[in-house]
Amino acid sequence: MIETALRDLGYGFGVALEPHNLWFCFVGVFVGNVVGVLPGMGVLATMSILLPLTFGMHPVAAILMLAGVFYGSQYGGAICSILLNLPCHPPHAVTCLDGFPMTKQGRGGVALGVTVLASFLGASFGITEMIFLAPLLVEVALKFGPAEVCSLMLLGLLAGSTLARGSPLKGVAMTLLGLTFSIVGADIETGAPRFTFGMQELFDGVEIVALALGLFGIAEFMKSVNQTAPIDLKYAKIKLRDLRPSKADLKEAALPAVRGTLIGSMCSLIPGTGPTIASFVAYATEKKISKNPESFGKGNIAGVVCPEAATHSSVQGDFIPTMSLGIPGDAVMALILGALIIQGIVPGPQLISEHPDIFWGLIASFWIGNIMLVILNVPMIGIWVKLLSIPYKYLYPSALFFVCIGVYSANNDLFQVGETVVIGVFGYLLLLLGFHPAPVLLGYVLGSRFEENFRRAMLISRGDIFTFVEPQHWISAIFIALCALLILGQIYVRFRPKSRIREAEKAVAGLPGSGFKAAEE
């Protein structure tokens, strides 16, 4: 098995090293790194802006680029957290707790240096995990009938909406809203128009670009305008020389990095628990097992390394359910799936065998991209720090223009720009009401496939709803049982709210500029 995996991986490197794929991978990680550094720019907004540009591209290049933005931004986000104490990207919020004190002690360079190393370790582990785990999952998943697929999706949706941050109930509500969005347009089986309100333009359904840019672009800008704290660059003077950690630092950081990696990879296996949760869990664990927990929050190197390694390993691990089962764990993955669907590629267990170039090329590009990021981050640290000083007031109007032209260019249709504005205003209202819009995208991307499989399962069982829990569909029954467990667990948690992760979250909420936290948490 290892042999085939290695051969496939070799093939993947062949795909990823093709010059134009290599170029788009570079563009992706570069853009990702830039937006990661820029305070107030979300990963989701950036990916949505780039999405229309990928329509004309080869699917492999498109996915490599979008994925590159995602993991590239994780590297950039750490810079922002450590040097400026700005938790502008949710997974890196905990990094502030110890990263910024290190900066104040003049060890910010060391913190960054170790972070880059730890991130690379975490990412490499996540990639290895994907190489071996994804094909195994696929083998099981290929035997699934409509009933199994349907209950698996139900589990994915439920996990994605309840395990993310914020109230689980509201998460479920948002997922349902997303499913409703996916209904708009012609019915898949009868062709009858649904929810179009007589508007011709809505017959093809709500465009994913319009939805994503409305929710994560326009709504985000409305939230952040005039809310940004002035940036203090006092401590942010770093030279290349400062980056090199001493032997003692490395020794101190090695074990926490490994622990963080393991925690991150475990979190990535549970759908719905993305990098943000992984980093919080990692920090809490590290503090718990540390010999001197009181040094946390005062610049303990372990408090920087462990969550960072966890973030990166879970970022890569997140791709496993997405690419092998077609079930995205969070909104970012939902966007990547959306990009695949637009390219006419059906996500699901058949993806690896039908499009090996995408799957293995993506994996190989992870490694190449991560190496690029290490190269980008170490010598060019000065440039990234300069980028930090671009004020938000220049950023968002420019981004708004990219939103408009991006949506327009998807179909050369101004109606969709209007659609985006309406969804954006609606999305901001939801934010004001305390709803996190990320699950909407999850529901939207899975919606039509969920409906299709549900109907098929009903057809096969002649309308018997209990087909999902019958003995011959025992796999499906397990998924349903897991769903029930998840709901019960949430009810249990609700009546017992104190936990270590919450404490860490509280500490982060007290940081200045936490109003920056993007919607993708």
Please tell me the count of residues contacting other proteins according to CB under 8 A.
66
CA-to-CA distance for 460 and 334, rounded, in angstroms? 29
Question: Residue 483 in contact with residue 155, Cβ under 8 Å?
Answer: yes
Q: Which positions from 30 through 69 interact with other proteins, judged by CB under 8 A?
A: 53
* Sole binder of other proteins in the list 50, 112, 123, 218 (CB under 8 A): 218
* Sole binder of other proteins in the list 180, 295, 343, 350 (CB under 8 A): 180
Judged by CB under 8 A, does residue 455 bind other proteins?
Answer: yes
Cα end-to-end distance, the chain, whole Å: 37
Closer to other proteins at the Cβ: 290 or 448? 448
CA-to-CA distance for 487 and 158, rounded, in angstroms? 8
Using a 10 angstrom Cβ sphere, with 0-12 exposed, 13-18 middle and 19 or more buried, the burial of residue 190 is exposed
* Sole binder of other proteins in the list 9, 229, 258, 404 (CB under 8 A): 404
Closer to other proteins at the Cβ: 77 or 317? 77
Judged by CB under 8 A, does residue 394 bind other proteins?
Answer: yes
| Nearest distance from C-beta of residue 62 to other proteins, angstroms | 14
Closer to other proteins at the Cβ: 431 or 482? 431
| Nearest distance from C-beta of residue 397 to other proteins, angstroms | 4
Helix, strand, coil tally for the chain in percent (to 5): 75, 0, 25
The pattern of x and - marking residues 185 through 204 that bind other proteins according to CB under 8 A reads --x-xx-x-xx---------
Binding part of the chain for other proteins, among 145-153, 250-258, 312-320, 510-518 by CB under 8 A, reads 510-518
Question: Residue 259 in contact with residue 305, Cβ under 8 Å?
Answer: no
Number of neighbouring beta carbons within 10 Å of residue 137: 17
CA-to-CA distance for 61 and 446, rounded, in angstroms? 23
Binding part of the chain for other proteins, among 117-125, 238-246, 334-342, 448-456 by CB under 8 A, reads 448-456
* Sole binder of other proteins in the list 227, 246, 353, 389 (CB under 8 A): 227
- Beta bridge partners of residue 409, listed in sequence order: none
Closer to other proteins at the Cβ: 106 or 397? 397
* Sole binder of other proteins in the list 17, 22, 173, 511 (CB under 8 A): 173
- Beta bridge partners of residue 185, listed in sequence order: 194
DSSP state string for 171-231? HHHHHHHHHHHHH-EE-TTT--EES-TT-GGGGG---HHHHHIIIIIIHHHHHHTT-PPPP
Judged by CB under 8 A, does residue 104 bind other proteins?
Answer: no
CA-to-CA distance for 274 and 330, rounded, in angstroms? 7
* Sole binder of other proteins in the list 199, 289, 405, 488 (CB under 8 A): 405
* Sole binder of other proteins in the list 250, 421, 475, 507 (CB under 8 A): 421
Closer to other proteins at the Cβ: 119 or 161? 161
CA-to-CA distance for 37 and 79, rounded, in angstroms? 6
Q: Which positions from 152 through 171 interact with other proteins, judged by CB under 8 A?
A: 165-167, 169-170
Binding part of the chain for other proteins, among 40-48, 275-283, 349-357, 399-407 by CB under 8 A, reads 399-407
Closer to other proteins at the Cβ: 323 or 518? 518
Question: Residue 87 in contact with residue 508, Cβ under 8 Å?
Answer: yes
| Nearest distance from C-beta of residue 365 to other proteins, angstroms | 23
Distance of CA 63 to the CA centre of its chain: 14
| Nearest distance from C-beta of residue 420 to other proteins, angstroms | 7
Closer to other proteins at the Cβ: 240 or 414? 414
Distances (CA, A) of 176 to 172, 182, 439: 6, 10, 9
| Nearest distance from C-beta of residue 414 to other proteins, angstroms | 5
Closer to other proteins at the Cβ: 140 or 509? 509
DSSP state string for 121-179? HHHHHHHHHHHHHHHHHHHHHTT--HHHHHHHHHHHHHHHHHSSSS-HHHHHHHHHHHH
Judged by CB under 8 A, does residue 350 bind other proteins?
Answer: no
Judged by CB under 8 A, does residue 514 bind other proteins?
Answer: yes
Closer to other proteins at the Cβ: 379 or 515? 515
- Beta bridge partners of residue 194, listed in sequence order: 185
Judged by CB under 8 A, does residue 118 bind other proteins?
Answer: no
DSSP state of 299: -
Question: Residue 348 in contact with residue 326, Cβ under 8 Å?
Answer: yes
Binding part of the chain for other proteins, among 19-27, 28-36, 265-273, 403-411 by CB under 8 A, reads 403-411
Question: Residue 302 in contact with residue 325, Cβ under 8 Å?
Answer: no
Residues that bind other proteins (CB under 8 A): 53, 165-167, 169-170, 172-173, 176-177, 179-180, 183, 187, 189-190, 192, 194-195, 218, 221-223, 225-227, 392-394, 396-398, 400-405, 408-409, 412, 414, 417-418, 420-421, 424-425, 428, 430-435, 451, 454-455, 494, 497, 502, 505, 509, 514-515, 517
